[in-house]
Structure 1
């Protein structure tokens, strides 16, 4: 990873807000987005920086954001190749110098004009401000259906905390949550689920998702499936536990049935083979339970987080 970072004049401990913008092949919309973003943020009485993360773009995105960086309030960070949005956001969080971070896409589906409202909610005392889609007029039928399936799966398969529906990466993350995320390595899990797992005071603000202004979506069906799988595998052992229950019950019922056959009839080779298969399934479930325990032990996430320290 190489960095082309121009340090802002007001960056450092006094910077209150970092606007973190992951970019991948967004040359067509960057100028419009940048103008609208600055117009929105400059109305706030707050010190800020804008941090563009170029995620290995192959168009003129890198040159455009470097030109933006001539403004001392703007910085750019260039990744060696396209590592994906999750990696770009984590790189930006580690690089950000503001006390709080707002993540938003530059395709203008997440309106920059909502930034002042997010800051207002933060000043009320909320550590996390999630922007919750009230409508998805800019998304295709396929994208809306896959999103519903994703959030339904999160509801069923993740224990211990709630994952708000229709909330993507468009959010404000406050100082305490940022410190907690930075204390974990990059394998701590999908950021949108990790933020919910933290448990800090959170609010949702509804908004209407706008159509993409230019360019094409970077989310394919395969990438959406990968996001769902990563979200579940990083934060839930429920699928494995369900398999263990099914294996145990199947083994018990199968053993009772074969015992009945042995008592009132003559067991066959097929009966013995079925018992062996059931025993194999049960053994696989037991091994899986131990694997899940090992994953929990080596997880970069701590067992708990303190709301505040003892004064």
Structure 2
């Protein structure tokens, strides 16, 4: 009687790398992107899967990536609606089967040909491989200016860790960092800042950002402002602390001035109104400090992460 049980050698090899591609209305560029991407996959010496995340596209993107999924090396995941790139990336990270993931856009501004170099850096021992833009002359002046402003503000408001400049979501995330991100709630913060917060061995690889091959950017001015606000509010209470200091100093100076007026001049209702406003500002600052403390306590990020455990 012949046994039908599979031996361990019959099982497929584990997937080492997932290439995670968020998509939103990218039908114009997908064919060119997929051809270049699969040419790179053929060259890689590790088992690799391609995971497309359809972020509620309204064009033919869903049908195109479903067609690509007929290839056993490619899968597609469809979100119910457009939740935004952050949500799409987190959904892809939770769905990825690879030990490591590389996140890249399909507009070809982030060349797929750089993937082997990223894998090489990972195998050198780096848990995070950030692709750092050496130049971005292809971007409009306003976008370049707001990007510089964003990184300058983050440098001033975040003290606990460094946020590398000119680094987008084009990066490799290794197994340990991937496990740490998955262990946290989806509201743990903006992914590009969260990856820096983790503190795992990181390297930056410089590259020249390319012009978009087709379609238009899905980032509006409003969404960029929201991204900046989320980056700050999730990782820093310094704006609140600065307001508290300003309120305290204003209250102290105002109180001294009003005391001087009451001693050497005539105290009017306007002076009392000013003192009441200053007292209100100080009270708001105190309440804000406690709100900030609550934010840190309920944050889904742990207080620390272990680099390794002793055997």
TM-score range, shorter chain: over 0.9
Q: Which residue number corresponds to residue 194 of structure 1?
A: 194
Aligned length: 302
Q: Which residue number corresponds to residue 42 of structure 1?
A: 42
Computed over aligned residues only, the root mean square deviation of the Cα atoms, in angstroms, reads 1.3
Shift in CA distance, 206/277, structure 1 to aligned 2, threshold 3 Å: same
1:251 and 2:251 aligned: yes
SS in 1 for 2:296: helix
Q: Which residue number corresponds to residue 132 of structure 2?
A: 132
Structure 2 length as normaliser, TM-score?
A: 0.95
Q: Which residue number corresponds to residue 87 of structure 1?
A: 87
Distance in 1 between residues matched to 2:19 and 2:12, nearest whole Å? 14
Unmatched tracts of structure 1, length 5 or more: 1-9
- CA deviations 1:25-61 (Å, max 9, x no partner) are 0011111101111111221210010000000001110
Determine if contact 2:101/2:172 at 8 Å carries over to the other structure.
yes
Unmatched tracts of structure 2, length 5 or more: 1-9
Distance in 1 between residues matched to 2:217 and 2:12, nearest whole Å? 34
Determine if contact 1:251/1:275 at 8 Å carries over to the other structure.
yes
Q: Which residue number corresponds to residue 286 of structure 1?
A: 286
Distance in 1 between residues matched to 2:297 and 2:265, nearest whole Å? 49
Distance in 1 between residues matched to 2:73 and 2:17, nearest whole Å? 11
1:299 and 2:302 aligned: no
Distance in 2 between residues matched to 1:38 and 1:213, nearest whole Å? 17
Determine if contact 1:12/1:98 at 8 Å carries over to the other structure.
no
Q: CA deviation at 1:226?
A: 0.7
Determine if contact 2:13/2:47 at 8 Å carries over to the other structure.
no
Distance in 1 between residues matched to 2:239 and 2:222, nearest whole Å? 21
Structure 1 length as normaliser, TM-score?
A: 0.95
Shift in CA distance, 271/295, structure 1 to aligned 2, threshold 3 Å: same
> Residues 20-169 of structure 1: matches in 2 within 5 Å?
20-169=20-169
- CA deviations 1:271-310 (Å, max 9, x no partner) are 1111111000000000000001111111100011111111
- CA deviations 1:46-102 (Å, max 9, x no partner) are 001000000000111011101100110100000011000000000000000000000
Q: CA deviation at 1:12?
A: 7.8
